[in-house]
Structure 1
Amino acid sequence: MQVFKEKRPLIDRIEKAKSDDLILGLVPTMGALHEGHISLIQTALQQSDQVVVTIFVNPTQFDNPEDLDKYPRTLENDLLLISALKKDIWVFTPSPQELYGENIFSEHFEFQGLEKVMEGKFRSGHFDGVGTVVKRIFDIVNPDRAFFGEKDYQQLQIIRKLTEITASPVEIIGCPILREQSGLARSSRNERLTSAQRNEAAFIYKTLKDVKNLFGTKSAKYISKWVEREFKNKKNLKLEYFEIANENSLEKLVVQSKNEKYRAFIAAYADDIRLIDNIAL
């Protein structure tokens, strides 16, 4: 494992790897690594000759300054987890100034409506921030493949669209959600949950599995009302949104088509900790 805080030394190593025709894999993260991130890195190692992992808490994708302040930063532990893989992984841990310069701001992107639903409704400017940082990282690392988890499925589709509108040659690879034993999707935010909250939050995935069983026999409207009632019975979980949407366009399901694929999406709060999850239907 080699750690780079500045982009120039990393770019020099990448240019040498590219000249040797090595396939370069990228795993972008915001740190606070867990087994889900490690599974992404392991997948990248299997499908690449050289892997770059970025650890950067991106300020431009947080609409709530308190959420940015509270986001866990565990760089020392993150590096220990990566080094335990015993591979020559290059880790890029820039400061905001190294990545953005002195003027930290988001570019604006038109993602053809992908950015206006679900997360986009509730997190103003979030996907402009995501697009901005991913574009900058792609420009620095110049990867052949980039690996993202399906837990942030809307983000995954946004990044696929980003490569399309910027004519980027990067192949975007989505990787399955890794879950805790209870079914709770692994997330850096889980570390802020108390043990009681962690147990209660498993209800999110249980609900999604029940939705999958209902789908096809009940209408989307019926299922949405059912999910809202179920969450009203949970004192310590607050539903922000539930949506059944087309897997590709993310458009809300109105009339089901046999030729289309759909997913169910949930965002909910355990106290002030926001959790998201989804399931293919």
Structure 2
Amino acid sequence: MNTVHTIKELRSIVAQQRKKGQRIVFVPTMGNLHEGHIALVTEGLSHGDFVITSIFVNPLQFGANEDLDAYPRTLEQDQQKLADAGNHLVFAPSANEIYPQGMESQSKVIVPELTELHCGASRPGHFTGVSTVVTMLFNMIQPDVAIFGEKDYQQLAVIRKMVKDLFMPIEIIGLPTARDTDGLAKSSRNGYLSPEERAIAPRLYEIINLTAEKIRQGQRDFTQLTREAESLLKEHHFKPDYFNIADSSTLELADKTTQSITILAAAFLGGTRLIDNLTI
């Protein structure tokens, strides 16, 4: 497995693989890889011949008071995990390589509507940063397939819409959320949790499941269900960011006529922001 740090090197290797008739699969990450990321790579191997994983902590998607500087960078460990998984190429650029003119003058890709609620409401500009850097990476690599995790449900929906709207010839595949045995969604940010917080963290998914079961049983007062869920989160020492019952396709808040429902939630546990979701 090779690792490159420049767009020139990346494109040279991609061109070589194209000449061989290889089908290119791309897995974008911010590094600090866990089993969920590795599952994306493993899935990618079944969809193509040459898997490229990027490791780039994208400053454009972090807000002014978010954890950009503290975000863990573990390139050597990540490289070993990827090599063991059968990944073929790592692209690990610097911020200067991606934004040579700085971020203020960077052209941006904006996906409307889907980005206005949920994480988009509480993290202004976040999804513009995501859609912009993913578009740039797609243009550098021009993959046939790209693999994303469903833990970031809204992000996946944004990417799907962007690819469709901009006629990008890329197949987008979503992989179910990887979880620890107690149900907690695997996330690089789980490493920020204290042992006491880690013991509490699975309650987020439990409360989502409890709400889902109430909906399956026929309850349709989504405002009341949301209040009950937020109250339970507070009882377990979470600070709710949002707990939304939404239309799975549009991500607009669900009503009594909504056929497919996704519960999306974000909550702080100490200083760590956790997100999770469940589609009914």
| TM-score (normalizing by structure 1) | 0.95
1:110–1:101: structure 2 CA closer, same or farther, 3 Å change rule? closer
Q: In the alignment, what sits opposite 2:255?
A: 254
Q: In the alignment, what sits opposite 1:53?
A: 53
Q: What amino acid maps onto 2:132 in structure 1?
A: T
Q: In the alignment, what sits opposite 1:89?
A: 88
Q: What amino acid maps onto 1:100 in structure 2?
A: Y
Aligned partners of 2:108 and 2:45: how far apart in 1?
A: 33
| Runs of 5+ consecutive residues of structure 1 not aligned to the other structure | none
| Runs of 5+ consecutive residues of structure 2 not aligned to the other structure | none
Contact 2:184/2:205 (8 A) holds in 1: yes
Alignment of 1:216-227 (within 5 A): 216=216, 217-219=218-220, 220-227=222-229
Contact 1:182/1:199 (8 A) holds in 2: no
Aligned partners of 2:138 and 2:244: how far apart in 1?
A: 31
Deviation at 1:164, TM superposition (A): 1.9
Aligned partners of 1:36 and 1:130: how far apart in 2?
A: 19
Q: In the alignment, what sits opposite 2:232?
A: 230
Contact 2:29/2:54 (8 A) holds in 1: yes
Structure 1 residue 5 corresponds to structure 2 residue 5: yes
Q: What do residues 85-128 of structure 1 show as CA deviations (whole Å, max 9, x unaligned)?
A: 2x351000000111121322454444230010001100010011
Percent of pairs identical after alignment?
37
Q: In the alignment, what sits opposite 1:80?
A: 80
Contact 1:27/1:53 (8 A) holds in 2: yes
Contact 1:150/1:156 (8 A) holds in 2: yes
Contact 2:207/2:233 (8 A) holds in 1: no
Q: In the alignment, what sits opposite 1:278?
A: 277
Residue aligned with 1:151, SS: coil
Q: In the alignment, what sits opposite 1:245?
A: 246
Residue aligned with 2:205, SS: helix
Q: What amino acid maps onto 2:230 in structure 1?
A: E
Alignment of 1:87-166 (within 5 A): 87=86, 89-105=88-104, 107-166=107-166
Contact 2:109/2:135 (8 A) holds in 1: no
Aligned partners of 2:241 and 2:107: how far apart in 1?
A: 27
Divergent runs of 4+, >3 A? 105-110
Q: What amino acid maps onto 1:256 in structure 2?
A: T
Residue aligned with 1:47, SS: coil
Residue aligned with 2:67, SS: helix
Q: What amino acid maps onto 1:133 in structure 2?
A: V
Deviation at 1:43, TM superposition (A): 0.2
Residue aligned with 1:146, SS: strand
Deviation at 1:231, TM superposition (A): 1.6
Deviation at 1:51, TM superposition (A): 0.2
Contact 1:268/1:276 (8 A) holds in 2: yes
Q: In the alignment, what sits opposite 1:23?
A: 23
What is the aligned length?
Answer: 277
Aligned partners of 1:239 and 1:66: how far apart in 2?
A: 17
| TM-score (normalizing by structure 2) | 0.95
Q: What do residues 19-55 of structure 1 show as CA deviations (whole Å, max 9, x unaligned)?
A: 2221100000000100000000000011110000000
Q: What amino acid maps onto 2:49 in structure 1?
A: D
Deviation at 1:229, TM superposition (A): 1.7
